[in-house]
Chain A
Amino acid sequence: MSDTAAPRARMILPRPLIIGGAILLASVVVGLFPALFAPFDPNAFDYGALLQAPSWAHPMGTDNFGRDVLSRVIHAYTIDMQIAVFATIVPFVFGTIIGALVGYAGGWAEALFGRIVDAVITFPFLVLVIAIVSVLGPGLVNMYIAVGVVGWVFYARIIAAEIKVQKRLDYADAGRAMGYTHLRIIFRHLLPNAITPAIVYWMTDMALAILLGSSLGYLGLGAQPPAAEWGVQIADGKNFMATAWWISVFPGLAIVLTGLGFSLTGDGLAEVLRTKR
C-alpha cells in the first residue's frame, strides 16, 4: 500500500506480497511433493465408490471413476504450476531479448515489430492457440510452444517501450562514449533498469497461463489423461454439476486460489519495486 507508506514503511513487505508469497510457496511445495499430501493414488479407480459426496474418507468426494477428488486436485498442482512456469518462461526470456533489441535499434525494426504486434493483438489469443495446438497435436509441450509463439510479443512490447526511454538517458550516452558495444550497453546497462515492468507482468502472466492451460484442458487440448489437471477435472465434472458438484467445484477453487497467489505477489512486487525506484 504505497499510498499510505511513510518512508519508514519501505522496509516492511507489503501485505499482498506476504499473502501471495505464502500461497505460492505452499503451491510449489504441494506441486513438488504431491504424494506427501494426497491421501489416495489420483488415478486409481474405485468401482465401489463412484460419485460419492464429500466425507471424512474423501473430503472432496469422488468422481465418476471413483477417483479421490482431493488427491487429484493435489496432484494437479504439479501440472498447473508447471504450466504457469513453462508457458511463460520462454516468452519472458525471448520477448525480453527481442524487445530490448527492437527498442534499442528503433527504425525499421521497430516498424516491423509494430506490425507484428498489431497482427497478434487483432487476433483472439485463444483461437490462435487452439489453431496452433491443432496443427501440432494436443499436449502440454505443444501448448507451451503455441503460447510461446504468441506470448513473447507482449513482453517484447513492454521491454521495447522501456528501453526506448532508457536509451535516451545520460548513462546510455556515457556507455556509447566509452566505446562499449551495443549489446553490452543493451544487456548490461539498459536492461537491468528496464526489466521491472516485465517481471511484474510475468507474475500476472503466470496467473493467465494457468487460466489458459485449464481452458485448453477443459477443451481437451491441454494436459492429457490420466494426468490430473484442474481444467480437465472441471470438464470431467461438468455433466455432474446437478448431482455431484464437487467434481468441478473444488478444482475451480484451486485455480482461483493459485491465481490469487500470483496476482497478489505481482501487486506486492510492483509496490516494492516502485518504491525502490
Chain B
Amino acid sequence: MQLASFIARRILQLIPTLLFILIVVFALVRLLPGDPASAMLGDRALDADVERINRELGLDRPLPVQFAVFARSVATGDLGDSITLKLPVTELIATRLPITILLTLMAALIAVVFAVPLAFVAATRRGRMADSAVRGAFQVGLSMPVFYLGLILLTVFGARLRWFPVGGYGDGFLEHLHHLFLPALTLALSLSAILMRNLRAAIIEVIDAEYVQFARAKGLRPRLVLLRHVLRNALISTVALFGLSIGTLLSGAVITETVFAIPGAGRLMVDSIYARDYPVVQGLTIALAVLVSLTFLLTDLVQAWLDPRVAR
C-alpha cells in the first residue's frame, strides 16, 4: 500500500539522521570538561579513586573503541546503565519520557482551548477593538519567557491562592493532571499565541472565500458554515504546528520541568549533562530523536487525512 511505503521510507530516512545525531552527541558529551568520576566524587576526590572508577566504566579506552561498544549495544536495544543512578537507561526513559509527553500534550490541548475562540473572535471582528486586544495578547504571549511566567504562576496560583499544587507530579493519573496544569499552561502560552495567529489568518481566508459567500447566498446559516470550517482549520493548524514546534516545546519543557519540579525527561537530560552521565545523555537523545521523528510522521499523516490537499 502507498501509505505503508510512505511510512517505511520515512523510517528509513530516520536511520542516517539518528546516526548523525549519535556521533554528534557522542563527541559533544566527551568534549565536555571533566569526566563522570570526578563529577560524581566532587571536590575531595583522590586521583586514584577517579582513575579506578573511570577504568571500571571503560572510559580509559580509546574513543573509537568506546563508540563501537556503544553502537553495538544500541543496535541490540541496550542503551547501557546510568553512571550516576545505576539503573538501565531504558528503564529511566520509560519512567521519565511519558511525563514529558503528557506535559506537552496537555500544553497542546490548553493552547487549542485558548486559541480557537480567541481567533474566532478576532477574525470575525477584524480591525476592531477585540481584534487588536487579541492580537496584542498574542504578541505578549510570544515575548514572555517560560521561566518568568512559570515563576509568576507558581507564586500566584500555587503559593498564594493554593489552587494548584506547587510543583511535583503526584500519585495517580488525576493528580498528575492537577500537578501538570500550571506547567502545561506555562508551556501552552507561546504555542497558543502562534496557533491563534495562524487560525485567525485561516478563518479570514475562509470568510472571504467564494464558496462561503455562495453558501450564504444559498441561505445556509453563515455561523454554522464558518464553525465547521473553523474547526477543521483549527485541527489542521494545530496538528501542523504541534509537529513544527515539538522541538520548542521540548526546550520549554526543560525549563518548565526545572521550575515546577517535574521529574520528566527534559530535567533528566540537563541533570545528566551536568553529571557527565554519558549513557543517559546518549540514550535520551536517541529516544527524543525518535519521539520527534515519530511526531513529524504522525502530524504528516494526520494532516493528510484531514486535508487531502496536503497529501500529495
Contacts and interface: CB of A to CB of B under 8 A. Distances in A.
Direct contact of A and B (CB under 8 A): yes
Interface of A: 1, 3-4, 115-116, 118-119, 121-127, 130-132, 134-135, 207, 211, 214-215, 218, 231, 234, 238, 241-242, 245, 248-249, 252, 255-260, 262-264, 267
Given A122-B293, A126-B254, A234-B151, A131 B28 contact: yes
A219 to B, nearest CB: 8
Contact of B148 (A122, A125, A234): A234
B219 interface: no
A131 B21 CA distance: 14
Which 3 A-B residue pairs are closest in the complex by CB-CB distance?
A259-B143, A126-B251, A124-B250
A131 B145 CA distance: 20
Contacts of A1: 126-127
A119 B273 contact: no
Contacts of B266: 124, 127
A127 B148 contact: no
Contacts of A134: 32-33, 273-274
A256 B140 contact: yes
Contact of B139 (A130, A131, A264): A264
Interface stretch (B59-67, B284-292, B302-310): B284-292
A29 B263 CA distance: 43
A257 B24 CA distance: 37
Contacts of A125: 247-248, 251
Given A119-B17, A234-B147, A127 B204 contact: no
Nearest to A231: B145
A252 B254 contact: no
Of residues B142, B146, B292, which shows the largest number of chain A Cβ atoms within 10 Å of its Cβ? B142
A256 B144 CA distance: 5
Contact of A4 (B24, B25, B126, B288): B126
A132 B28 contact: yes
Contact of B289 (A122, A242, A252): A122
B89 interface: no
Interface in B29-77: 29, 31-33
A81 B10 CA distance: 41
B17 A122 contact: yes
B247 A124 contact: yes
B163 interface: no
12 contacts: A119-B21, A123-B289, A124-B251, A126-B251, A127-B251, A127-B269, A134-B273, A234-B151, A241-B151, A242-B155, A242-B159, A259-B144
A255 B146 CA distance: 11
A11 B261 CA distance: 52
Contacts of B250: 124, 127
B151 to A, nearest CB: 6
Contacts of B126: 1, 3-4
A7 B238 CA distance: 33
B143 A256 contact: yes
B20 interface: yes
A127 B273 contact: yes
A215 B21 contact: no
A241 B251 CA distance: 24
B300 to A, nearest CB: 13
B280 interface: no
Contacts, number: 126
A119 B14 CA distance: 9
A47 to B, nearest CB: 27
A127 to B, nearest CB: 5
Interface in B142-194: 142-148, 151-152, 155, 159
B33 A135 contact: yes
A132 B21 CA distance: 14
B143 A211 contact: yes
Interface in B232-271: 247-248, 250-255, 266, 269-270
A115 B17 contact: yes
Name the residue among B16, B21, B31, B148 with the largest chain A CB count within 10 angstroms: B148
Given A123-B288, A131-B28, A132-B28, A263 B147 contact: no
A127 B248 CA distance: 11
Interface in B104-151: 126-127, 139-140, 142-148, 151
A214 B146 CA distance: 10
A267 B32 CA distance: 40
A160 to B, nearest CB: 17
B143 A263 contact: yes
A175 B165 CA distance: 65
A174 to B, nearest CB: 30
A230 B96 CA distance: 31
Nearest to B258: A219
Contact of B31 (A119, A135, A234): A135
Contact of B143 (A135, A215, A260): A260
Nearest to B160: A242
Contacts of A135: 28, 31-33
Given A127-B269, A260-B140, A118 B145 contact: no
Nearest to B14: A118
B86 to A, nearest CB: 23
B144 A215 contact: no
Contacts of B159: 242
A1 B128 CA distance: 11
Contact of B270 (A3, A127, A218, A257): A127
